[in-house]
Every structure is written in C-alpha cells, then in structure tokens.
Chains A and B, each alone.
Chain A
Amino acid sequence: MNFFKNTIIFLKTIKTKPLDFVIVFVLFLASFSTIFLFATGSTGAKAELRISGKVIKTFDLKKNQTWTYRAKDGDYNKIEVKNGEIAVVEANCKDQIDVQRGFISKTGETIVCLPHNLVIEVMSGQKDEQVDYKV
C-alpha cells in the first residue's frame, strides 16, 4: 500500500493531472487496435513458382487460371489460381503434401513439394518489399 501512496505523492509533486493519465491510457489501448486491424497479414498480389530455386513462372493472383507444371521425367503439378488464392490441386508426387496444403493467399506463405523440388511462394507484388526502418 505504501508503494501506491508514494506513487500518488510523486505524481502530485510533478504536477500531473488525472486527465493526463486517462488520455495516455486511451491512446496506448488504441495503439493495440492495429493488431486487430492488420494482424491478418497482407494479401499477396502474385505468386512465384520455383523449381530448385529457379523462378519458372509468376502467377498473377487476380486472374483465375489453371496451369500444369510438367517436368521431363513425367512429374506434374496442376496449379489453380482462384479468387486471389493459389493451390496445387493435383500432383503425382508420393506424399501429396502440396495438395493437402490447400489454397494460400497471404504474403510469405508457401506450398512446397519436396519430391519435385517445387516451391510456390506468395509475394506482395511490390518491388521494395524490404522496409528500411531507420528513424
């Protein structure tokens, strides 16, 4: 209890007023609203298909389309873009993990098909993806 008393005495000596704390507290709480507003992650605009790290094709997520990747040895992955989302809908790999992954749309999300060395990554679609945060 002494601690609270001392704190209040201290706050009075430095001449703070109750409304100060109300406003600062409200602002601080309001700053957390950004988490609910933006935490879902931004939706990507395009997706890159890479085989062994090399970019083979870039998909525009705004256009609905289906495209099949075929390798020389008969491996194939059927890729579908629908309503801004991308998925592998059919593939002849053993584990079928890429098909089970389903549709993805947020930047940074990936679909990986290890047997075919295939990676699909959703990108924001802007050139400068890195934010140089120096203030």
Chain B
Amino acid sequence: MNIKEYVYVSLLTAAAVVMGIIESTLPPFFAFAPGAKVGLANLVMIIAVFTLKWQQVWVMQILRLLITALFTGFSVLLYSFAGGILSLLAMYLMKQFGPKLVSLIGISTVGGFFHNFGQLAMASLLAKTTSVMLYLPWLAFFGILAGFAIGIAGNQLISRVKPIQELFIKESKQWT
C-alpha cells in the first residue's frame, strides 16, 4: 500500500463513520418497520467494494464498525458486526458471478438483505428465541428497497466523482 491508498482508505472509513452517526441521529423513517434504515454507510461500503482490494475492504469495514461504536455505543456492536460482516461476505460471493451476470445494484441489494438477516439472526441468538425471525420478510423487503436505492446512488457517485471513477476503472475495469 502506498500513501495514496492509505489516505483513500482512511477517507472512506471516515465518510462511512460520519454517515453512520448521522443516520443514528435521524428519526426512524418508517414507524411501521422499526429497524428499517436506508443504510447510508452501505453507500460508502459499495464504493469501497468496487474501488479497493478485498483485504482493504475488510479492514475498512471492521474499522468502520469499531469507530462507529465509539460514537453510538457498544450495546449494538454485536448487531452491527453480525450485519456488517454477513452483508460484506454476501456482497463478496455475489461479486464472484462476474460483470456479465450481476451488476453493482444487484450486489448492493444482496448486501442490504443480508445486513438485515445478520442483525435479526444475532437478535434471535442473543434473546434465545426464534420468534424474532418472523420479522425477517417485512424487514427484508425494506432492506431490498434500500439496497436498490443505494446501488443507484453508488452508480451515480462512480460516474460523476472523478477520483472515485479513476480508482473504479483501475480496480474493476471489467465492471464498467
């Protein structure tokens, strides 16, 4: 890693942390689906997935989760870890299909779905009750919608912000 990459990873991490904090202060959008969020931090993650190498993405995700927890409290750390790690893993597997079969939007949507799944799985594990899982279809619906929106936003960022675009072309040329 050269200094430029260090700076870029740090910038992305900082952006993701700020997005996470901003989002945690917002009132819930949907009163009928508590826990459903747009997942602004995932916007940064999807950019990272396409402009960084995989080890760097993992480092960034774990840093992001830890630093966000410093600001929003450690009580939800287990939930955000379960969601964050599972969603990144799902995005990684989804990306393996290659640019001919899947797109950035699809990857982001799968990430959104597994983010919710991970959090609910952790909740039912901690509370030792499976009834929490009944909430999954409802939450998954919003996760998919949010992932879709985040994917569109990510496409726009990549095609309009020049430094990101340069790294995107360098790191994942076949996806253009």
Which residues on A are within 8 Å of B, measured CB to CB?
Answer: 14-17, 19-21, 23-24, 27-28, 31-32, 34-35, 37-39, 41-42, 124, 126, 128, 131, 133-135
Contacts and interface: CB of A to CB of B under 8 A. Distances in A.
A58 to B, nearest CB: 19
A92 to B, nearest CB: 37
Contact of B80 (A17, A38, A135): A135
A19 B96 CA distance: 12
B103 A16 contact: yes
Contacts, number: 90
Contacts of B88: none
B4 to A, nearest CB: 28
Contact of B137 (A16, A32, A124): A32
B137 A35 contact: yes
B123 interface: yes
**Nearest 10 CB-CB pairings of A with B:** A20-B106, A31-B140, A38-B130, A19-B101, A34-B133, A131-B127, A31-B137, A31-B136, A17-B103, A34-B136
Nearest to B94: A23
A35 B131 CA distance: 9
A38 B130 CA distance: 6
B129 A133 contact: no
Of A20, A24, A133, A134, most B-chain CB atoms within 10 Å: A20
B132 A131 contact: yes
Contacts of B104: 15
A120 to B, nearest CB: 21
Given A14-B155, A38-B134, A19 B129 contact: no
A53 B155 CA distance: 60
Interface of B: 34-35, 37, 75-76, 79-80, 83, 94, 97, 100-106, 109-110, 113, 117, 119, 123, 127-134, 136-137, 140-141, 144, 151-152, 155
Contacts of B103: 15-17, 20
A23 B134 contact: no
Contacts of B35: 133-135
B106 A17 contact: yes
Contacts of A124: 129
A101 to B, nearest CB: 22
Given A20-B109, A27-B140, A38 B131 contact: yes
A23 B155 contact: no
Contacts of B119: 135
13 contacts: A14-B105, A15-B105, A17-B100, A20-B105, A23-B110, A24-B110, A27-B144, A28-B141, A38-B134, A128-B127, A131-B129, A134-B35, A134-B75
